[in-house]
Amino acid sequence: MKSLSPFTHNKYIPHDYCGRILKSGCSDNLKGTLLFFLEANYKFDLCGCPSMPYIAAWRQNGRDIWYEYVSQGLLNLLRCDIAHASEVFRSSLRERRIYKRRPARKEIYEEIVTAHEIQRGRQRLRGQGIQQGQLEALYKLTPPLGNTIWLKDLATIKRFPKDDINLSVGCLTDVTKEMEQKELLEKIGYFDELTKLPKRKILEQILEVNFGHFQRGHIKDFSFLMLDIDHFKRINDQYGHLAGDHVLASLAELMNDITRKEERVGRYGGEEFYAVSMGDLHSGRKFAERLRQKIARTPFDYHGVTILVTVSIGVASASELETCEQEPLVRKADRRLYAAKKMGRNRVIWTDET
């Protein structure tokens, strides 16, 4: 009976093998373990299961990672051969997501790591996998000449200290449709219909990600801004609520136009907006002043009527806090916003000494 696998005996190297370990001077223990997983993965792949098995390997302190085995399904998605799979996967990677549980709050939260952060923290991320003995993550990739795909990764980490090599034995599952649906629902639920800006509910995610980056040392600081339109009730009373809506939408468009890539703006509720800026309190203050001055200089026209608008802004930074939590940051910025109102409006307050 003809064998369904390329293996004639476990001591032999498969005829289509493209890895490194079996052709090196590694221990019999490592080679035997690898051969076992190679044959198991090969047979699993023949079953036509949509999951895509793989075996990745790396040295403890090395930068390089390579594949000992890659499912043909993954090679089809990456549009490459096994010799270039690791390089294509790495260059296509846009972000990595991990879901963690907070025991105190009994909730699950999402940790997003960008491709740049993965490159900077490669050793730390691998170390976490080794320590836990397993890996569970989501990867967003944009392969060459292909559409964006999402892959769910479930793997076990095997350590071979004598050979200074670690194996990641796992399966990737294409969850692109599910993630596209998730992003669509988030877009619908998180963006304000009038201003087209992110709603208050997405602010929690933005701050969650930024605090995570801040605590891990990926960013030195970031600032949070609370903005409020001065005397907005007068605008509604004098010109009507449709004019007020026009001002809100026009103001949002104006802020978006002058917002840089390291800055984000959103609608907090009513006539209140929020903004987040990378950098220290001084950078946040400069961003706030740029917003305030541009708004004050811009007339808003509504059916031939010119409406002049000013805003008051409170600014706070993460580095000012004793604990990295959202509520104290928002409360501090809101308190400074109130101080700006109290001192005459159309101004930016960034300290508690008023």
How do the pLDDT tens digits run along the chain, 354 residues long?
A: 344 445 444 445 677 788 999 988 999 999 999 999 998 998 888 888 889 999 999 987 777 889 999 999 999 999 998 889 999 999 999 999 888 776 655 566 678 888 877 777 676 777 777 778 888 999 999 998 788 999 999 999 999 999 999 999 999 999 999 998 877 767 777 788 899 898 888 888 889 889 988 988 889 999 999 999 999 999 999 999 999 999 999 999 999 999 998 899 999 999 999 999 999 999 999 999 999 999 999 999 999 999 999 999 999 999 999 988 999 999 999 999 999 999 999 999 999 865
For the chain, how far is it from start to end, CA to CA, in angstroms?
88
Quick one: which of 268, 252, 281, 282 has its CA closest to 330? 268
Strand partners, 102: 107
CA 164 to each of CA 18, 26, 110, 304: distance values in angstroms, whole numbers, following the listed order: 20, 9, 32, 75
What distances in angstroms separate CA 156 from CA 27, 124, 147, 171, one per listed residue? 20, 17, 28, 10
Q: Contact 156/134 with Cβ under 8 angstroms? A: yes
CB 149 within 8 A of CB 174: yes
Tell me: the pLDDT tens digits for 218-236? Answer: 899 999 999 999 999 999 9
What is the pLDDT at residue 102? 63
Cα 339 to chain centroid, rounded:
34
Tally of CB atoms within 10 A around 309? 21
Q: Locate tokens 């468009």: which residue?
A: 253
Residue in 171, 168, 172 with CA at minimum distance from that of residue 55: 168
pLDDT digits (tens, 9 = 90+) for 180-212: 887 776 777 778 889 989 888 888 888 988 998
Cβ burial 68-96 (10 Å sphere, 16+ → b, else e): bbbbebbbebbebebeebbebbeebbebb
110, two tokens: 């999402």
pLDDT given for residue 4 in this prediction? 41
Tokens 């005459």 sit on residue: 344
- Distance separating alpha carbons of residues 84 and 82, to the nearest angstrom: 5
Q: Give the residue carrying structure tokens 């990745």.
A: 56
CB 167: neighbour CB atoms within 10 A? 22
Helix or strand holding residue 160 (H, E): strand 149-160
Residue pair 35/10 in contact (Cβ under 8 Å)? The answer is: yes
Contact 172, 74 (CB under 8 A): yes
- DSSP bridge pairs for 213: none
CA distances from 139 to 8, 47, 113, 173, 174 (A): 36, 25, 10, 10, 10
Quote the distance between the C-alpha of residue 300 and its chain's center: 36
Q: CB of 98 within 8 A of CB of 91?
A: no
